[in-house]
Amino acid sequence: MNCCRKQSSSPLGFRKELWAPGLTGQAGWAGEGMGNERSLCSVVVDCFPCFRTQPLGDVLPELIRHGRERIEQTIKASGSRLCSYAERVVFLMDRSRSPDKSTQPSTPTDNINLGPSANPNAKPTDFDFLKVIGKGSFGKVLLAKRKCDGTFYAVKVLHKKTILKKKEQNHIMAERNVLLKNVKHPFLVGLHYSFQTSEKLYFVLDYVNGGELFFHLQRERCFREPRARFYAAEVASAVGYLHSLNIIYRDLKPENILLDCQGHIVLTDFGLCKEGMEQEETTSTFCGTPEYLAPEVLKKQPYDRTVDWWCLGAVLYEMLFGLPPFYSRDVSQMYDNILHKPLQIQGTKTVAACDILQGLLHKDQKRRLGAKTDFLEIKNHVFFSPINWDDLYHKRITPPFNPNVAGPADLRHFDPEFTQEAISASITRTPDLAASSSSASDAFLGFSYASTEEDF
C-alpha cells in the first residue's frame, strides 16, 4: 500500500494528520480512534498479502512479528509525514516503548507531584474561548480571551484520562516543567500559568498567529539563503538557551517552529525534552520524528545534545532545498539514507552554506558541529557571520518576512478545519476538582502554576 500523508497547519506542536492510502482517505492522530472508511482487515491484507486468506485472529501474532522492525521505527509521542496507516495499526496492537534508562516507566496510577499549587484560583470560566486553532492526541489548542483584561492567549487543553491511559503523564509534566524555564527567552513560547480541573489540564500560553514555518515552507517550497539563515539563527539561539539549562529539545522540525505576528520564530512543544543533561551526559530514548532522526538515535546508541544540532542542520537543509536531507517516501530507505548515504548538496549554494550543512549533518556525533563547545561553535560559523547575535536576541533585526496579521482575530494562518470547529461545552465549564474520586484528580499534583506577575 502506497501511503502518503497530507498535513494541515496547526499551532503549538499539535498536528492534524490526514492519511491518504491510495484513493481512500483516513483521518486520525497517532494513538486516537481509527478511521471508519476501511476495516482493519482490509488494511492488514493490503499491507501483508501473504495473510489475505487467513482469519484475522490467526494472523495477528505473525503480523506483529513481521511488523516488529517497523514498530520499532514508529516514533514515540511524535508524528511522521511518512509512517503508514498500517504501521500505526500494528503499533496500537502492540504498543512498544523504550523509556529512558534513568527514568522508571510510569503506570496509569502513578502520581506526579511538582510541589504545592501556586495557582488554585484560575478556572475555565475566566476565559471566553473563541476558536479552535489546533488539535492533538490529548486535546486541543484554543484561542481564548481572558475576561478580566481582554488579553488573548493560546490555551492548550488536555484530557487527563487520555494522558493516563497512554501513560504519558511524565511527558506532560516535563513539558510543563520546561515551559516554566522558558519565559526569559524571546524565541521560546511562554507559559503564563497553568491550572486543572478534575477532567482536564490547561496550559495558558503566548498566542502566536503567524503560522507554522512548515505552513510557509509548503507554500513557498524553499527559502532564499538570507531568510533561511535568519530563522536558523533564531532557532539556534533558542536551542542554545535550552542547552544552557541542561535540556535537550529532541524534536526540532518545521512544524514546531511558529512565526509571531512580526515574523520572528517561536519554538514550541516541549513534550520530548530531556532535562538534567549535562555537557557530557547521554541518554538513549528512541524518540523524535523520522525525517530528522540523527544516525546515533537510529542505531539506538547513547546520544547527547548534538542531536539537536543534527536536527538544526536538517531543518536548514529543508528550508534551502524544500525537503529533508535524506528524504524518501520509503521509511526504511530513508533510515538507510540517514545511516549510510553521503549528504547531497545540489544547486548554487554558498560555500558557507554547504560547509555548515556538512558540519551539522555529520554522521559521527563526536565530529559534528557543536560537539566541542555547543552553541558557541554554531554562532561562530562563517555562515552566521552576517548575524549580530545581540541584535538578534533583542529582536532589533527586521525579519525577512512579515505574516501581515491584522490582530489577534486574524486567523488566516490557521487551518479552517480547526477554526470552523465548534468548541465543546466541557472545555468551558469548571467542575468541582474536589468532587472527583478518580485517579486522574491526583495524578498531576503541582501542575497548576502562576507567575508572580499574574493577578487573579
**Which residues contribute to the annotated binding site for ATP?**
165
Q: Which residues, including other chains, have CB under 8 Å from residue 20's CB and lie 6 or more apart?
A: 3, 4, 5, 6, 26
Q: Which residues, including other chains, have CB under 8 Å from residue 283's CB and lie 6 or more apart?
A: 100, 101, 102, 248, 274, 277, 302, 303, 304
3 state SS of 225: helix
Which residues line the annotated binding site? 165
As beta bridge partners, residue 156 has 141, 203
Residue 282's closest CA among 298, 310, 251, 305?
305
DSSP string, 9-41: --STT--EEEEEETTS-EE--TTSPPPSSS-HH
- Beta strand extents in 160-256 (DSSP E only): 191-196, 200-205
Catalytic member of 46, 251, 304, 415 = 251
Cβ-based burial of 148 (10 A; exposed 0-12, middle 13-18, buried ≥19): exposed
As beta bridge partners, residue 76 has 287
Judge whether 94 counts as a catalytic residue.
Answer: no
Give the residue carrying C-alpha cell 532557532. Answer: 235
Residue 159's closest CA among 31, 251, 267?
31
Residues found in the chain: 456
- Bin 239: left if φ > 0, else alpha if -120 < ψ < 50, else beta: alpha
Q: Which residues, including other chains, have CB under 8 Å from residue 281's CB and lie 6 or more apart?
A: 304
Q: Which amino acid is at 451?
A: S
Q: Which residues, including other chains, have CB under 8 Å from residue 58's CB and lie 6 or more apart?
A: none
Residues 308/358, Cβ–Cβ less than 8 Å: no
Rounded (10°) CA dihedral 264, 269, 273, 275? 80
Catalytic residues: 251
